[in-house]
Amino acid sequence: MESWVDGQPADVLSLKDRGLAYGDGLFETIAVRNGRPLLLERHLQRLETGCQRLALRVDMTVVSAELSAYARCQGDGVMKLIVTRGDSRRGYAADPSATARRILQGSAPVAYPAAHAEQGVFLFPCSVRLSEQPLLAGLKHLNRLEQVLARAEWTDSRYADGLMQDASGRVIEGVFSNLFLVRDGVLSTADLSRCGVAGVMRAELLFQANSQGIATQIMDISLEQLHQADEVFVCNSVYGVWPVLGCGSARWSAGPLTRKLQTLARALLDA
């Protein structure tokens, strides 16, 4: 699938783009099925929040229409939208009247091993810690060196993702997933007000769980609380839900609430 820049076919970008110079932008990775972008409203919501916090001028109506048009051309797969502050002038100062640049790239459906969803996965315990920056926390921005360094910590394919903690040792998320735990029937996930990416599937699962009367809480999670959990799973908007079987010395088994939410996620992604 060809890429688009500001709605036009293109496979290259200006060297002056501030996305390259400073990571000055945001992205969304969106599953596409039968010509439709999945969880589109939630992706647009997060993007809009990010644009507001970074003062990026984006016409959300144009973005929405473009994502739908691209998905129709793509059919099935994953599309990645990058929004940057456009070309640089000199230095960090931006032109406040500049409108953001939209970059759309498509790729084939991701072929994860079926066992990840069916049996569950192991997480590599990453030593790279997430730094705390409340101004950027929750956003899917382009400053992702911490994830690059964390992902480079393991090559063993037995690990489907890595577990990331913040500088204070709190359990935050996977390298490319959000993490949930279940204890005594309560579904918990990390508070992302200091660091982390507020995933679209995380938001959807919290919403669905609340709708079904499942107790949820957003909280600080210690390593001890993680170890004592009855169930642990990771999620994102491309693969849905994977039960977590272990991380470091801790072991869990795929439990009923994980399976229930996995089924819900699959229904959304098979739509």
Whether residue 215 contacts residue 189, with contact meaning beta carbons closer than 8 Å, is answered with no
**According to CB under 8 A, which one of 151, 183, 227, 260 is a site residue for its own copies?**
151
Which residue's CB is nearer to its own copies, number 3 or number 188? Answer: 3
Q: How far is the CB of 135 from its own copies (least distance, A)?
A: 6
Which residue's CB is nearer to its own copies, number 136 or number 245? Answer: 136
**According to CB under 8 A, which one of 30, 54, 71, 123 is a site residue for its own copies?**
54
Whether 263 is catalytic: no
Give the range of 59-67, 133-141, 209-217, 227-235 binding its own copies by CB under 8 A: 133-141
- The site for its own copies, by CB under 8 A, has a size of 55
Rounded Cα gap, residues 147 and 126, in angstroms: 10
Cα distances (Å, whole numbers) of residue 82 to 38, 63, 106, 265, 267: 17, 11, 11, 25, 27
116: tokens are 């990840």
A 10 A CB-CB count for 128 gives 18
Whether residue 29 contacts residue 237, with contact meaning beta carbons closer than 8 Å, is answered with yes
Q: What is the maximal distance between C-alpha atoms in the chain?
A: 55
156 touching its own copies, by CB under 8 A: no
**According to CB under 8 A, which one of 38, 39, 147, 254 is a site residue for its own copies?**
147
Pairing mode of beta strands 216-219, 250-251: unpaired
| Element containing residue 219 per DSSP (H, E) | strand 216-219
Q: Contact letters (x/-) for its own copies, 71-90, by CB under 8 A? A: -----------x-xx----x
Closest CA to 173 of 159, 183, 162, 160: 162
Whether 140 is catalytic: yes
Task: Report the SS3 class of residue 268.
Answer: helix
Whether 2 is catalytic: no
Give the range of 57-65, 66-74, 93-101, 258-266 binding its own copies by CB under 8 A: 93-101
16 touching its own copies, by CB under 8 A: yes
Q: How far is the CB of 271 from its own copies (least distance, A)?
A: 23
Which residue's CB is nearer to its own copies, number 19 or number 199? Answer: 19
Active site residues: 29, 140, 173
